[in-house]
Amino acid sequence: MLRSERPIGIFDSGLGGLTVFKAVRGLMPAENLVYFGDTARVPYGTKSQSAVVSFSREIAGCLFAKKIKFLIVACNTASSLALEEIKRISPVPVLGVITPGVRAALRLVPRGGRILVTGTAATVTSRAYSRALLAVRPDVRVTEKACPLFVPVVEEGWCSKPLAGLVAGEYLAAFRRAKIDALILGCTHYPLLRKVIARVLGPRVKIIDSAGATAIAAKLELSRLGLLNSGRSRGKCEFLVSDAPERFSGLALKLLGIKTGAVTVKRF
């Protein structure tokens, strides 16, 4: 039987999922959290589906061994390609980031509105966002755009450098005149480039970050299952990576203000 004091597991291909971690931490400070960043194999967006499924199974297994009560797949590529397999093998409830992001976007878009989805090449090729959006609102017009260089820009810690603006402009400047109503940041790394992206697209476009929506969805599901931690003290956090713990810790602090403390290395 699952107990409320058990931790929530969160994983991503690297440090992008820390945007979800931070949102969960802010919304549910009493929860114990375990985060896994697959820094040895980032990015996932250029990998095959079989590779992403294999990586996701390994990481999920590692988090299951930590006796988690709930698993958040804080990676859009893994949510697109491996979510059903993770759910199949999971002993605990599993939440991906696509459905929360889709619901948040549809609340902001008028009938017949235009939605631009940015993501990794693998996420865009999967058409997971288009299918999810159109299943709920067949009237919306969806365009998906792969922005593969965004992940390495973030992983290098270059979010505020001129290069980030040049890359964003190359990918997105053409959409400024396309009367886009909303942009979905379809990768958890991309919120770290939100200001840069907003400057390229202009003030008219609403930008949807799935991190906050995912945290809200997680809290609602944990409440429904009676698994919210009712403790009053601040929950503990544990961080694991598959490589380069010092680099991960440094970028977590620099980009998100997250103090990780000691980071454990787990190699497969």
Same fold across 8-96+212-265 and 99-210:
yes
CA–CA gap between residue 198 and residue 181 (Å, rounded): 13
Scanning the structure block, which residue is given the tokens 């202009």?
A: 202
How high is the pLDDT of residue 156?
A: 94
How high is the pLDDT of residue 2?
A: 82
In our burial notation (b when 16+ CB lie closer than 10 A, e otherwise), range 215-227 reads bbbbeebbeeeeb
> For residue 254, what are its two tokens?
């620099």
CA–CA gap between residue 218 and residue 71 (Å, rounded): 9
Question: Domain 99-210 is in which class?
Answer: alpha beta
Ranges of residues in the chain with a pLDDT under 70 are: none
How high is the pLDDT of residue 230?
A: 85
CATH code linked to domain 8-96+212-265: 3.40.50.1860
Scanning the structure block, which residue is given the tokens 């017949």?
A: 112
Domain spans of the chain, in order of start: 8-96+212-265, 99-210
How high is the pLDDT of residue 1?
A: 72
Q: What residues contact residue 232 under an 8 Å CB cut-off, 6+ apart?
A: 30
Q: Is 159 a catalytic residue?
A: no
How high is the pLDDT of residue 66?
A: 97
pTM: 0.94
Q: Is 75 a catalytic residue?
A: yes
Which entry of 75, 147, 159, 237 is annotated as an active-site residue?
Answer: 75
CA–CA gap between residue 76 and residue 255 (Å, rounded): 20
Q: Residues 43, 44, 48, 54: is their CA dihedral positive or negative?
A: positive
Which entry of 147, 159, 187, 237 is annotated as an active-site residue?
Answer: 187
Helix/strand number for the chain, H first, E second:
12, 10
> For residue 58, what are its two tokens?
């390994």
- HSE of 175 in the Cβ direction (CA atoms, 13 Å)? 27
